[in-house]
Structure 1
């Protein structure tokens, strides 16, 4: 029997943080838009209906919120990597992907985004 892969998607989590290197960016919080996708085997949770057998997306989201709102970041790469670390920290996670948009970072563009992925190494 193949394992049943669950996909958790955290969509459009809107937060504010200090992100960037210019003076106005280091002095004023900016909006960021976070999307995360987390894959894990959900067979046990599906069969038990027990929260202990599932990844708790609320707990993951609260960790992301605390990280983003209580820190300062120069680079979008660093912020995205830190959020990816949270999304992929549980042993059950086989794959995670995070994309963070920084709206209005460039003139004439809606946003700039950074996307990073994690793949469990099954050696």
Structure 2
């Protein structure tokens, strides 16, 4: 990775959505915790301090929030893939990784999580 690559981390974005296929999961929203890592070339942004040269992480986060809160998902895999697609849709993105935790999904565990990553060819 060159020194001009920026890494944006959106950490512990806590949202509620319908996730799961058990009857109770389909009837009530559950908490999820989202972590996103986005890489993009930031040489111009770092050299010239121009907002137009930076990836707008607020816009990405708003799209994620809207998609998650308005959606219904049977599988964690689908939810993670959807958030990953939102995370790398900007043409500047060279790499993205998404991890989503479903707290209290298992009786004796704090959380169950799934991670997917994408890299531009």
Q: Pick the TM interval, shorter chain.
A: over 0.9
- Tell me which residue corresponds to 1:23: 23
List alignment gaps of at least 5 residues for structure 1.
none
Matched, 1:118 2:102: no
Poorly superposed stretches of 4+, deviation over 6 Å: none
Q: Distance in 2 between matches of 1:3 and 1:89?
A: 23
Structure 1 residues 43-68: Cα deviation after superposition (integer angstroms, max 9, x where no partner): 01111211110100100000000000
- Tell me which residue corresponds to 1:66: 66
- Tell me which residue corresponds to 2:52: 52
Structure 1 residues 59-112: Cα deviation after superposition (integer angstroms, max 9, x where no partner): 000000000000100000000000000111111111000000000001100010
- Tell me which residue corresponds to 2:102: 102
Q: What is the total number of aligned residue pairs between the two structures?
A: 120
- TM-score normalised by length of structure 2: 0.97
Displacement of 1:42 after TM fit?
A: 0.4
Displacement of 1:28 after TM fit?
A: 0.1
Displacement of 1:3 after TM fit?
A: 5.2
- Tell me which residue corresponds to 1:11: 11
Q: Distance in 1 between matches of 2:71 and 2:38?
A: 23
- TM-score normalised by length of structure 1: 0.95
Give me the CA root mean square deviation.
0.8
Matched, 1:32 2:10: no
